[in-house]
Structure 1
Amino acid sequence: MPRTADHEERRRQIAAAVCELISEGGLDAVTVARTAASAGISVGLVQHYFRTKDEMLLHAFRYASSRIRSRIEERIRAGIQHRRPISRVLAEAMAELIPLDETRRTEFRVARAFAGRALDVPALAEVDSETARALRDDLAQAVHNGKECGEVVPDLDPWPAAVRLAAVAEGLATQVYRDPSGVNGIPATALSASIIDAELAVVFTGECRQYVAGST
């Protein structure tokens, strides 16, 4: 295996180990020794790649974020391939942010641990802010694309809509994490879908001209 590939694989192992430790015991469970044991490598090797716990946490956060991003990009590719309206693709993408299974619950715990630590570490706080801004940018672009194809009215400002949708996703993720089985007999998956659909329906009120039969 080339050195660069080995380097990235080791860092991935460590990030996965940190995520697992956070999922099981929170940020306090993350130590160099425990991370090394979980990753199946030596303490010295962990210290070779990451000098501090904050560096490990930052890498774990980026690792978890990249997994979410990969799933969202796959949703977008599938949506384009199957000619789905933007609102449907966006609904599926937003659902990837909600902790509806063990993978997403782990990612949520990592994100929350990172955000908590970022309150006291400016360098981490900037990464946390950049990640939030990137989500808003993506949502605003989706709304803008919706305006171009006819799903969104021309005079709607994408940015307030993006902030609102981001806030809904963030708040919904917290609610689902606290009550993973759902609320008042409504399963979490169905509840999440209905809330996301209701919020998107406020923004995406039209029909995509691109997919209307006979349109050019």
Structure 2
Amino acid sequence: MPRVADHDARHGQITDAVQRLIVRDGLTSVTVARTAAEAGMSVGLVQHYFTAKDEMLLATFTRVNGRFTARVDQLVNRGEAEGRTIAEMLRQALTELIPLDDDRRAEFLVRRAFADQAAHNARLADIHKETLVGIRSRVAQAIKNGTVCGEVPQEMDAADQALRIVAFAEGLALHRHSDPDGTPEPAILAALDQQLDRVFTGTCRGAQLR
């Protein structure tokens, strides 16, 4: 057990170092040597876990996605306990993709760096695609659940609307990152609400997002 714990701790140290480098200096700053220095360990130790930049970036991307998923799960569990609507829970979940604070900004930069790298790497591209499909699928399921309880019209195409909603949220994330002064949080949330209001036109409480 101690070996597993030590492995996880070292893995976390390295991926946290990669994230800090991306946030501070951009993707080009990420090398095995610079990551080792940032993590406060030897190059040899970093290479014991990762042999290349792509591997470190993938692990960091996976870690970021894990944190995102955990936060969404917590939001859903709390929302269900409080009797929130599916639209309310979905709105909260989508804001986790938007850089509205330092933590979400750091995660946004990691996702963006991974997407840039994936454009030239088939393996990373497959993982990036799988991640996007997973997010859209979860949103589509929320919409389908909405049709069951009455929040969403029965004729609504869940997959089509999920694509639009996720693309819209990602667009808001990019604008927030590029022009934070011109995209204050209230405006971001209002725009997201308007997009969701197009789909969630009915009323239902205590429904499931998952």
Query: Could you say which TM-score interval applies, normalised by the shorter chain?
Result: over 0.9
Does the 8 Å CA contact 1:144/1:158 hold for their aligned counterparts? Answer: yes
Q: C-alpha separation between the residues in 2 aligned to 1:7 and 1:193?
A: 40
Number of equivalent positions: 207
Shift of 1:120: 0.8
Shift of 1:69: 1.2
Shift of 1:182: 3.0
Q: C-alpha separation between the residues in 2 aligned to 1:198 and 1:155?
A: 20
Which string of whole-angstrom CA distances, capped at 9 and with x for unpartnered residues, describes residues 29-49 of structure 1?
111121112112211110000
Q: Answer 1 or 2: higher relative contact order, Cα 8 Å, separation at least 6.
A: 2
| Counterpart secondary structure, 2:198 | helix
Residue 113 of structure 1 aligns with an amino acid whose one-letter code is A
Partner residue in 2 for 1:159: 159
Q: 1:200 aligns with which of 191, 196, 199?
A: 196
Q: C-alpha separation between the residues in 2 aligned to 1:147 and 1:9?
A: 43
Mapping 1:1-216, distance limit 5 Å:
2-183=2-183, 188-208=184-204
Residue 40 of structure 1 aligns with an amino acid whose one-letter code is G
Does the 8 Å CA contact 2:17/2:38 hold for their aligned counterparts? Answer: yes
Q: Over the residues paired in the alignment, what is the CA RMSD in angstroms?
A: 1.2
In the superposition, the TM-score normalised over structure 1's length comes to 0.93
In the superposition, the TM-score normalised over structure 2's length comes to 0.95
Shift of 1:23: 0.3
| Counterpart secondary structure, 1:206 | coil
Q: C-alpha separation between the residues in 1 aligned to 2:205 and 2:130?
A: 34
Consecutive unaligned residues in structure 2, runs of 5 or more: none
Consecutive unaligned residues in structure 1, runs of 5 or more: 212-216
Which string of whole-angstrom CA distances, capped at 9 and with x for unpartnered residues, describes residues 98-148 of structure 1?
001111111111111111111111000001000100010000000001111
